[in-house]
Structure 1
């Protein structure tokens, strides 16, 4: 288990991490999310004792990690897959780590097999692709068979098969009762991998909850409806205060009304419905909504200037409220 209490790191006038308090529990995959510059890497470095906190504490299994007698047996970490000696073979790189940490040499072969690197064990790691380097970093993290595992962007450079492998592998590790803490910018992957989320922005805690709860709290449910009587249903829904839009195929998107309410309304007015499907927002949509004011570096979209859509010199939006793509109803 990892426990942080009031964890703070300050560099001059800037607080990279600001009073973080959270617990990473065993038996589940905990995703660690935040925009660039949110303080994720600094937090992970403080957990491992690579950076000292300005104030607050962080412990691994009840004590500071720097006081661990056998560090690699307690925590396995992948923070930078490039932090390897490029002139060494994969086998010799892992063997050096094993010997310096009093781990049995047989463990090297075991983790090479676990990560699919057995066939390239005698090749110099400097010639490895980014994906192979990631696998080698994961193999190093597993050397001590630790109960706590920390991964920073573990799927970088992996192909789809490798991404699926690491997803299933992390879930298997958590299923064994280990603590698995994963930082990633790939929201779609975190949605399929993580059980719990810790989200930070500008160094502060923004959320500490399950993936399901995070999505429910930070995204809006929509309902898609297909009917041969599109205009009639659009007007009825708008009259009930729902926000509705339709595309060129006639598919209606409804916000602010449940599938049951829409179905009852259609039934009461004898409108045939061919499709009625609820859709909850994705983790990516929920994350973007929660952290939109926490982003430190923001690019300007193409066409968003004064002559872009909606700008004083840009095109005038359509005035027909029922034109495809227009949102009507309560605002």
Structure 2
């Protein structure tokens, strides 16, 4: 069957995972489709890693189901041919060389050993293939983890915080890799706690907080739903303008330098009010919230340990 068909989907249906009295994931439902890069976002401790481990069969759901290509991942005896994953770049025996590490994975999944050299070349580690992994930098370990995910040439790929430790060139390379894999029709699922990582790469987003679903939609839909538009107003007589804007239904915040941040009214209407009352303006700038701000706004009440909280 050609790559990119709907059978390569990851489907999470009403999944709950409890550890004793703690609920890590609560009735979570979403679908990750082929041919697209799907970002998996949430604050630290939101349940992302637990969910990824359930996709890979490393944890068993307390309730609900997780399938890849319509079947639990544990039903596949040679899993790397179906799903490639990077969960923890540090989870490699430091005494092995990169080539030896990948060779073990290849043999256990009946993958030709020639593929080991191919993926080492692809991730830029061919020159370090016979060095022991214990001497690798974090960025090199990330590249090795990506090589392991690519080893079986799978139609489905999962990456957990793949940009950690990478330099700017490495970040650019990884973003390009994800885009190429999706264009080949593969299902690419990338977990992160930073919206800024995903806005350059993702087509779709799955956002969770405290184990529950916040959003599952396209990047553009998420930005439109979460972001708020504000207007920066420069007014020499801000004290006179403020009550007029408030009476018109706006929210007004005073900023340093005599500026006002206004929400709830468009720039044109603010200008009309100022003109009608003879109040000059020296700035009237519309600003749309960034994706990072939209993410922070939508997950603000689902952060376990917000900055400044008393614990």
For normalisation by structure 1, the TM-score amounts to 0.83
Cα deviation, residue 30, structure 1: 1.1
Match of 1:109 in 2: 117
Match of 2:96 in 1: 88
* Correspondent of 1:28 among 25, 36, 53: 36
CA distance in 2, matches of 1:263, 1:177: 50
CA distance in 2, matches of 1:97, 1:159: 27
Match of 2:25 in 1: 17
After superposing the two structures, state which structure 1 stretch, 171-180 or 222-231, moved more. 222-231
2:223–2:291 Cα contact (<8 Å) kept:
yes
1:241 aligns with 2:249: yes
Cα deviation, residue 243, structure 1: 2.3
Cα deviation, residue 285, structure 1: 2.1
SS at match of 2:301: coil
CA distance in 2, matches of 1:253, 1:174: 40
* Correspondent of 1:50 among 55, 58, 80: 58
Tell me: CA distance 1:8–1:270, structure 2 relative to 1, closer, same or farther (3 Å): same
1:122 aligns with 2:135: no
2:234–2:260 Cα contact (<8 Å) kept:
yes
Match of 2:181 in 1: 173
SS at match of 1:193: coil
* Unmatched segments (≥5 aa) in structure 1: 305-331
2:227–2:294 Cα contact (<8 Å) kept:
yes
In the alignment of these two chains, the number of paired residues is 302
CA distance in 2, matches of 1:9, 1:144: 29
Match of 1:316 in 2: none
SS at match of 2:165: coil
* Correspondent of 2:268 among 254, 260, 263: 260
SS at match of 1:292: helix
CA distance in 2, matches of 1:298, 1:246: 25
Tell me: CA distance 1:274–1:299, structure 2 relative to 1, closer, same or farther (3 Å): closer
For normalisation by structure 2, the TM-score amounts to 0.88
After superposing the two structures, state which structure 1 stretch, 289-298 or 164-173, moved more. 289-298
Match of 2:202 in 1: 194
1:134 aligns with 2:142: yes
Q: Deviations over 1:140-199 (max 9, x none)?
A: 100111111101111111122222221222122112221111111122112222221112
CA distance in 2, matches of 1:291, 1:248: 28
1:144 aligns with 2:152: yes
Cα deviation, residue 118, structure 1: 1.8
Rg comparison, structure with higher value: 1
Tell me: CA distance 1:103–1:249, structure 2 relative to 1, closer, same or farther (3 Å): same
CA distance in 2, matches of 1:132, 1:255: 46
Match of 1:216 in 2: 224
Cα deviation, residue 234, structure 1: 4.5
* Correspondent of 1:153 among 161, 169, 180: 161
Cα deviation, residue 43, structure 1: 1.0
1:6 aligns with 2:5: no
* Unmatched segments (≥5 aa) in structure 2: 1-8
1:162 aligns with 2:159: no
